[in-house]
Amino acid sequence: MGWLADETGLDKCPANYVPLTPLSHLARAARLWPDREAMVYGPHRWTYAQYHDRVTRLASALAKAGIRPGDVVATLLPNVPAHVEATFGVPACGAVLNTINIRLDVDTVAYIFDHGGAKAVITDSQFLNLTMAAIDRMEGPAPMVIEVPDDIAGVPGQGEQIDYEDFLDTGDPDFPWVMPGDEWESLALNYTSGTTGRPKGVVYHHRGAYLMTMGTAISWGMAMHPRYLTIVPLFHCNNWNHAWMMPLLGGTVICCRDISAEAIFDAIADEGVTHFGGAPIVLNMLVNATEDERRPVHHKVEVFTAGAPPAPATLEKTEALGFSVTHVYGLTETYGHVTQCLADAAWSALPHDEQLALKARQGIPMPMMEDSTVIDETCAEVPMDAATQGEVAMRGNCVMKGYLKNPEATEKAFRGGWFHSEDLAVLHPDRAIQIADRAKDIIISGGENISSVEVEGVLMRHPAVLLSAVVAKPDERWGEVPCAFVELKEGHEATEADLIAFTRERLAGFKTPKQVVFRDLPKTSTGKIQKFELRKIAKGL
């Protein structure tokens, strides 16, 4: 036996064990850097002391309003300070943060309110009508509504719900934060439509988010006190966990409500932005900016891009502007990015086109993950030959707890001890993952996941439609957009404009088909529509 065979007295205690939580980052930052700039929005500036105070009063106000540990507090907010504050303030009272995509339709928002059991909703004035309409369609009890006006964006409050600043005033600045007793406790609830019509509720734990912040800082090679621009929506995987990460490094969060090339270039020039994340559509926006929108980039700006593989030409043009771009990959179920394309020094000897192609791969596991690879149907790793297709699979602490109220989907996702992404890929000899296709026809448009099944279901409700199939069509601006192939019923008529308008009335704008093609759909002998044939056609449209 080894000399540690007898571990009497070597137990966990408050001195040697504290549950991991990203809440610790802000508490620490407020002690270390109380006067350092923590958050910026237009002319508004908050120090870490002020940031911590506002988060504390939000947590207290929620608790006073009846929010208990384990309750869900939802948000319908763009990238504004209140959303950054809610990222810490909601869990600081023990509640679970449910950030909702502001681009969703009213029925889906109502479903999320009901399914998650939201007890309160913090909503921007611009989305108050959406919020109230969704509440009217709920089957369960209505949540309390807190309205956030935005003087910078010229979005005044409507005055019928409690004002956010007034709500903060009810909070106690000395409120003791409710820290998790167990790092497996739920921290956040994020809904992803994935490949089904109804969204699934992805549950995060404190441990995963804490490790995500640590691993990201390492993978991005971040120095102390970065200046981070919020381009990734705070409702997308909680901003890829970046808002939780910034206090770890004493960084500054620069809020950006409306994403445009001009806003990004201005923030870089005026606020000294050093880092931001965004989908390839953001890179295309920068590349295609007009001379009036552009400003010179005089310092290195690090960019994480994800949501779809960036085109090599896009990478080349973006880097020529002064940006250093790293391709990362992940899913809502993995807290955001969990693999990165880690450049090898040997690549510099390769032709430029080959270097760009290598940089577009999904890459290798980031340090917070135990493993990420490509597996076959038996859960065995595929050969590292860059040709054999399998499914991207991950395991590690930055994988969700599971899907809320959906044990069957959770069991399926975790089959064989892996999280199954349903993305098809190959594995290169250097162990880099490269996605070859997306299982079940997920369409990724501007970083947003679109379920083809959901869009098809709406099209099938049109009285003239016999059959429909929706696939991804390449798009220079959005990466991919939905393209619908439709067979009409005999004796019925409908135009492309008719069907697009029909879906727009029933779905969020980004989910509506951008083109409708009327034709007989290719089918197998059993009647299954051959979508791979339609994808080939869509590429040539």
* CA 202 from centre of chain: 11
Domain end among 206, 225, 243? 206
State how far the Cα of 222 lies from the Cα of 214, in Å rounded to an integer.
10
* 120 three-state secondary structure: strand
3-state secondary structure 272-328: CCCEEEECHHHHHHHHCCCCCCCCCCCCCEEEEECCCCCCHHHHHHHHHCCEEEEEE
* CA 230 from centre of chain: 12
Q: What's the CATH number where 457 sits? A: 3.30.300.30
Helix 23-32 vs helix 206-219: angle between axes, to the nearest 10 degrees? 60
* Residue whose token pair is 């449910």: 98
- Please list, in sequence order, all residues whose beta carbon lies within 8 angstroms of the beta carbon of residue 496, skipping any fewer than 6 positions away: 515, 516, 518
What is the model's pLDDT at position 57? 98
3-state secondary structure 455-486: HHHHHCCCCCEEEEEEEEEEECCCEEEEEEEE
Specify if 188 maps to a domain: yes
Specify if 68 maps to a domain: yes
Helices and strands, counts by H and E, the chain: 17, 26
What is the model's pLDDT at position 358? 87
* 203 three-state secondary structure: strand
* Residue whose token pair is 């201005």: 266
State how far the Cα of 389 lies from the Cα of 425, in Å rounded to an integer.
5
Specify if 438 maps to a domain: no
pLDDT digits (tens, 9 = 90+) for 56-110: 999 999 999 999 999 999 999 999 999 999 999 999 999 999 999 998 999 999 9
Domain end among 182, 206, 230? 206
**Residues spanned by the domain of 470:** 447-539
Specify if 72 maps to a domain: yes
Asked if residue 243 lies in contact with residue 84, where contact means CB atoms within 8 angstroms, the answer is yes
What is the model's pLDDT at position 197? 61
Average pLDDT of the chain to the nearest whole number: 92
Side chain identity at residue 379, one-letter code: C
Asked if residue 483 lies in contact with residue 517, where contact means CB atoms within 8 angstroms, the answer is yes
- Backbone angles phi and psi of 514, in degrees to 5: -95, -10
What is the model's pLDDT at position 345? 84
Specify if 347 maps to a domain: no
What is the model's pLDDT at position 192? 85
What is the model's pLDDT at position 528? 58
- Alpha-helical (H) ranges within 400-523 are 407-413, 452-459, 496-504
Specify if 520 maps to a domain: yes
Q: Angle at the Cα of 266 (from 261 to 272), degrees rounded to 5?
A: 125
State how far the Cα of 172 lies from the Cα of 64, in Å rounded to an integer.
9
Specify if 144 maps to a domain: yes
pLDDT digits (tens, 9 = 90+) for 281-320: 888 889 888 899 999 999 999 999 987 667 777 788 898 9
Whole-prediction pTM: 0.85
Asked if residue 477 lies in contact with residue 284, where contact means CB atoms within 8 angstroms, the answer is yes
Q: Which residues pair with 475 in a beta bridge?
A: 479
Q: Angle at the Cα of 428 (from 425 to 433), degrees rounded to 5?
A: 40
* CA 364 from centre of chain: 20
Among residues 82, 239, 51, the alpha carbon closest in space to that of 155 is found at: 82
What is the model's pLDDT at position 2? 65
What is the model's pLDDT at position 353? 79
Specify if 430 maps to a domain: no
Domain end among 151, 177, 206? 206
State how far the Cα of 207 lies from the Cα of 210, in Å rounded to an integer.
5
Q: Which residues pair with 57 in a beta bridge?
A: none
Among residues 255, 201, 249, the alpha carbon closest in space to that of 84 is found at: 255
- What domain count does the chain have? 2
Per-residue pLDDT of the chain (541 residues; tens, 9 = 90+): 566 677 888 999 999 999 999 999 999 999 999 999 999 999 999 999 999 999 999 999 999 999 999 999 999 999 999 999 999 999 999 999 999 999 899 999 999 999 999 999 999 999 999 999 999 999 999 999 999 999 999 999 999 999 999 999 999 999 999 999 999 999 999 998 644 468 999 999 999 999 999 999 999 999 999 999 999 999 999 999 999 999 999 999 999 999 999 999 999 999 999 999 998 888 888 988 889 999 999 999 999 998 766 777 778 889 899 899 999 999 999 999 999 999 888 888 888 878 888 888 889 999 999 999 999 999 999 999 998 989 999 999 999 999 999 999 999 999 999 999 988 889 999 999 988 756 656 788 888 878 777 788 789 889 898 888 899 999 988 889 999 999 898 899 999 999 999 999 989 889 999 999 999 988 744 345 788 889 899 988 8
